[in-house]
Amino acid sequence: MAIADAKWGVVVVAAGRGTRMGTAESKQYLMLRDKPILVHTLETFDSMDEIADICLVVGQQDVERCKAFVSDYGLHKVASVTAGGSERQHSVQLGLSALRGGVDWVMVHDGVRPFVTPKAVRACMTTAMATGAAVLAVPVKDTIKQVNDSGVITATPERRSLWAIQTPQAFRRSLLERGLAQAAADRFVGTDDAMAVERLGVPVSVAEGDYTNIKITTPDDLPYAEFLLANRERERGTDE
């Protein structure tokens, strides 16, 4: 089955406060050029023909303003804006529940990754449909050292086996729901969505993404984000 023949939903997670940015405003609502970072992210998925439904998960205090974003920016595929839970994993569960019926395949994406490209998203979707579960990732460029609590190097993993994991992460919907339900029953909280599926013994594949698919987390990320946005706009102008 091709991705165009499946019904895909996306859960965009933007419920965190993000203390590392050091701003009073949550990072997903900071302006990147003329619109909030979160809106840039949503527009990518909203523009893709393969996406049938988007659920945005945010903090309880931000639900109404995000509903206004949906209207103001014409985000027609964002069918629901839902308050998140205490952990990302809980927010994803709430987002999955809010997706409309008939969505058999799902992606989970960070609200503060506005530069993922439709090409990379489609690569992740295609890999997931071939294997059941996939994540976007890029090979690690630097040598990685494992360090103990005393600051002493204890191991140097082989770099060729190391990948930096990104989002979106894509799954058959029933598989992710089963993984999250089992994690909740076990009181396990993972650091990404794929961990819930990995715990079931199900292999998760990697689809190679782009190094520009950054997660905007600290003040140092903002100038680079402006640079990436300017580059994207120049490329679109050249294509036209």
Q: Is the pLDDT of residue 239 over 80?
A: no
Instruction: Say if CB 21 and CB 217 are below 8 A apart.
Output: yes
What pLDDT, on the 0 to 100 scale, is given for residue 131?
Answer: 94
What is the pLDDT averaged over residues 20-26?
A: 69
Whether 123 maps to a domain, the answer reads yes
Whether 85 maps to a domain, the answer reads yes
| Total structural domains within the chain | 1
Residue environment code for 42-56, b if the CB has 16+ CB neighbours within 10 A, otherwise e = bebbbebebbbbbbb
Let me know the angle formed at the C-alpha of 56 by 55 and 58, rounded to the nearest 5 degrees.
Answer: 145
Whether 239 maps to a domain, the answer reads no
Whether 233 maps to a domain, the answer reads no
What pLDDT, on the 0 to 100 scale, is given for residue 215?
Answer: 96
* 96 burial type by CB count under 10 A (0-12 exposed, 13-18 middle, 19+ buried): buried
* Alpha carbon distance 91, 208 (integer Å): 26
Q: pLDDT over 70 for what percent of the chain?
A: 95
* Alpha carbon distance 238, 220 (integer Å): 28
What pLDDT, on the 0 to 100 scale, is given for residue 237?
Answer: 67
Whether 130 maps to a domain, the answer reads yes
Domain hosting 151: range is 3-228
Q: If you average pLDDT over every residue of the chain, what do you get? A: 93
What is the pLDDT averaged over residues 135-150?
A: 97
Give 66-133 as a DSSP string: HHHHHHHTT-TTEEEEEE--SSHHHHHHHHHHHSPTT--EEEEEETT-TT--HHHHHHHHHHHHHHSE
Q: Say which range, 42-46, 99-103, 182-186, 227-231, has the weakest mean pLDDT.
A: 99-103
| Long-range pairs of 119-123 with CB within 8 A, sequence gap ≥ 24 | 120/207, 120/209, 120/210, 120/213, 121/44, 121/45, 121/48, 121/168, 122/3, 122/48, 122/50, 123/207, 123/208, 123/209
Q: Is the pLDDT of residue 17 over 90?
A: no
Whether 15 maps to a domain, the answer reads yes
Give the global pTM: 0.93
Whether 166 maps to a domain, the answer reads yes
| pLDDT level of residue 18 (50, 70, 90 thresholds) | low
Which residues, in sequence order, are CB contacts of 187 under 8 Å at separation 6+? none
CATH number at residue 107: 3.90.550.10
Whether 236 maps to a domain, the answer reads no
Write the pLDDT tens digit of every residue in 57-114. Answer: 999 999 999 999 999 999 999 999 999 998 999 999 999 999 988 899 999 999 999 9
Which residues, in sequence order, are CB contacts of 175 under 8 Å at separation 6+? 132, 133, 197, 200, 202
